[in-house]
Amino acid sequence: MELPKELMVSVSGVRGRVGEALTPEIVARFAAAFGAYLRERTGEARPRVVLGRDSRTSGPMFVHAVTAALQSVGCDVIDIGLAPTPTTLLSIRHHGAAGGIVVTASHNPVEWNALKLASGVGMFLDADEAPAMRAYVADRPIPRAGWDELGTVTVDTDAAARHLQAVLAIPYLDVEGLRRRRFRVALDCIRGAGSAVLPPLLEALGCEVIGINLEPDGRFPRAPEPVAENLGELERLVRESGADIGMATDPDADRLSLVSNTGRAIGEDFTLALAAQLVLRHRPGPVVTNLSTSRILEDVAEAAGVPLQRAAVGEINVARAMERAGAVIGGEGNGGVILPDVHLTRDAAIAVALVLQLLLEHGEPLDRIVAGHTAYTIVKDKLPRDAGSLEEAYAALEAELDAPEADRQDGLRLSWPQDRRWLHLRASGTEPILRIIAEAPDPAAARDLVERARQALAGAPQAG
Ligand code: MG
């Protein structure tokens, strides 16, 4: 099938602007291809596929297209409706399904939507699995079912309740203690899918919830990424309500970002660091994150005396590395917390529970806990660059900066552990640019690293 060139196809799915590159026809093609792939892979005559969506206005339309396509290849659909992405992934294992499809564009702007494809273990497709599915999208004939073999559709309305129970069952979560403490929590679900799970979870934990943007109608009132500069309304809400903490998600509620009791967004890198601080008190063990995540997490691992491993950028890369390392916690600096005790995917509901438990055990307000960590500055920059010819530039930069540690598993990451600074360069998977990111305790040192990288790359042979 000829695909529009603006369509963004990745290992685990496909996304585009609604009504432009992303149409019901495109969505149906990918869904049918995925169903055909699951039948072939599992050998099952009637594989079950869990289907969930975030709150985007185009969600119900694409759910119809996905449902019809899956039925047409003989897959039985289990529709859980509006749900956070982690809720859908958790339901795959609950139903013993062959896979799952989430209709969500995650943190992308409101005009986007996407399909995210997951396998039977409740994790997104990885680079080994994707090509067999993509062959059906490209040119392999899709075997369709006849009139007597069409898939069925079942509605499951209990997915959010099961997810909530799974979070409440985290062994070191002191639900009774939290209920007695009655935290005041300001919550911003950006009119996304988080409101299916987070308000009931906070209520189950005895919190007083002061909520904004809880109506899941997909009309996002702010830029969807839960980064500090997008959380002004939540910061004001925390100040005006005297809340203990503010919490914000992205539209599909796999990322969580925090506002301190003083009404300041503390940056999404702190979510995983604080969650790890709590988990490592109870279960010391390996921690895994990606190459671009803040050193705050490294400090937390160091203080607990456990190893921290870094994986290539991308949720599935971190999740697979966690599996291999037997990690007790991991995730991404963008507010994506992964707790293998529940499942190997980013989950904002889990982050909510872990951060509240840390507040309970620590006994100090969030701004004091944050003040106990080194304050780092992260500087991000980008250069136009052809991803195909970066090896020489990386080699030149590595020689020029002469760092004690160099990691080449995803671009180039140089680090100076003694000075607590690092630099990471990688080609964007979606744009013809090179991303440069540096972190140091001293803002000038972080800026200097980025500047030296820019100069070294300017001197290196040009891409082309
Ligand atoms: Mg997301």
Count of CB atoms within 10 A of residue 302's CB? 13
> Are the C-beta atoms of residues 193 and 218 closer than 8 Å to each other?
no
Quote the ligand 1 centre to 348 CA distance (angstroms): 9
pLDDT at 462: 47
pLDDT at 236: 98
pLDDT at 391: 85
pLDDT tens digits, 72-127: 999 999 999 999 999 999 999 999 999 999 999 999 999 999 999 999 999 999 99
Average pLDDT rounded to a whole number, residues 209-213: 98
Quote the ligand 1 centre to 90 CA distance (angstroms): 15
pLDDT at 128: 95
Nearest to 88 by CA among 312, 289, 253: 253
pLDDT tens digits, 426-437: 988 777 889 999
Whole-number percent of the chain with pLDDT over 90: 92
Nearest to 54 by CA among 83, 95, 16: 83
Residue positions annotated with a catalytic role: 106
Quote the ligand 1 centre to 376 CA distance (angstroms): 25
> Cα(452)–Cα(450) distance, rounded to whole angstroms?
6
| Distances, alpha carbon 225 to alpha carbons 229, 319, 379, in Å | 9, 21, 18
pLDDT at 313: 94
Nearest to 333 by CA among 256, 412, 277, 422: 256
pLDDT tens digits, 28-51: 999 999 999 999 999 999 999 999
Query: 439: buried, middle or exposed (CB in 10 Å: 19+, 13-18, 0-12)?
Result: buried
> Cα(123)–Cα(76) distance, rounded to whole angstroms?
19
Alpha helices in 52-211 (DSSP H): 59-72, 85-94, 130-138, 159-168, 175-181, 198-204
Out of 55-64, 287-296, 393-402, least confident range? 393-402
pLDDT at 396: 86
Helices 85-94 and 159-168: crossing angle in degrees, nearest 10, is 90
Residue with tokens 């991308």: 314
Query: Taking the complete model, does pTM exceed 0.75, yes or no?
Result: yes
Which tokens sit at 338? Answer: 């992964």
> Cα(11)–Cα(314) distance, rounded to whole angstroms?
10
> Cα(261)–Cα(184) distance, rounded to whole angstroms?
10
pLDDT at 432: 81
pLDDT at 455: 86
Quote the ligand 1 centre to 460 CA distance (angstroms): 36
Q: How confident is the model at residue 464 (pLDDT cuts 50, 70, 90)?
A: very low
pLDDT at 459: 66
Quote the ligand 1 centre to 21 CA distance (angstroms): 21
Q: How confident is the model at residue 383 (pLDDT cuts 50, 70, 90)?
A: confident
> Are the C-beta atoms of residues 437 and 379 closer than 8 Å to each other?
yes
pLDDT at 147: 98
State yes or no: pLDDT of 410 exceeds 60. Answer: yes
pLDDT tens digits, 7-27: 999 999 999 999 999 999 999
Q: Can you count the helices (H) and strands (E) in the chain?
A: 15, 20
Q: Which residues, including other chains, have CB under 8 Å from residue 371's CB and lie 6 or more apart?
A: none
> Are the C-beta atoms of residues 435 and 380 closer than 8 Å to each other?
yes
Whole-number percent of the chain with pLDDT over 70: 98
Quote the ligand 1 centre to 123 CA distance (angstroms): 14
Q: Which residues, including other chains, have CB under 8 Å from residue 188's CB and lie 6 or more apart?
A: 211, 212, 213, 231, 233, 234, 237, 246, 247, 248, 249
Quote the ligand 1 centre to 236 CA distance (angstroms): 24
Q: Which residues, including other chains, have CB under 8 Å from residue 210's CB and lie 6 or more apart?
A: 184, 185, 186, 187, 237, 241, 243
Q: How confident is the model at residue 361 (pLDDT cuts 50, 70, 90)?
A: very high
pLDDT at 393: 84
pLDDT at 387: 56
Quote the ligand 1 centre to 445 CA distance (angstroms): 31
Integer Rg of the chain from CA: 22
Give the dihedral sign, CA 39/61/117/256: negative
What's the residue count for the chain?
A: 464
> Cα(247)–Cα(250) distance, rounded to whole angstroms?
11
Quote the ligand 1 centre to 253 CA distance (angstroms): 6
Nearest to 295 by CA among 373, 358, 226: 373
Residue with tokens 């963008």: 334
Give the dihedral sign, CA 282/283/285/291: negative
Angle, CA of 216, 220 and 224, to the nearest 5°? 110
pLDDT at 102: 98
> Cα(249)–Cα(321) distance, rounded to whole angstroms?
25
Quote the ligand 1 centre to 234 CA distance (angstroms): 19
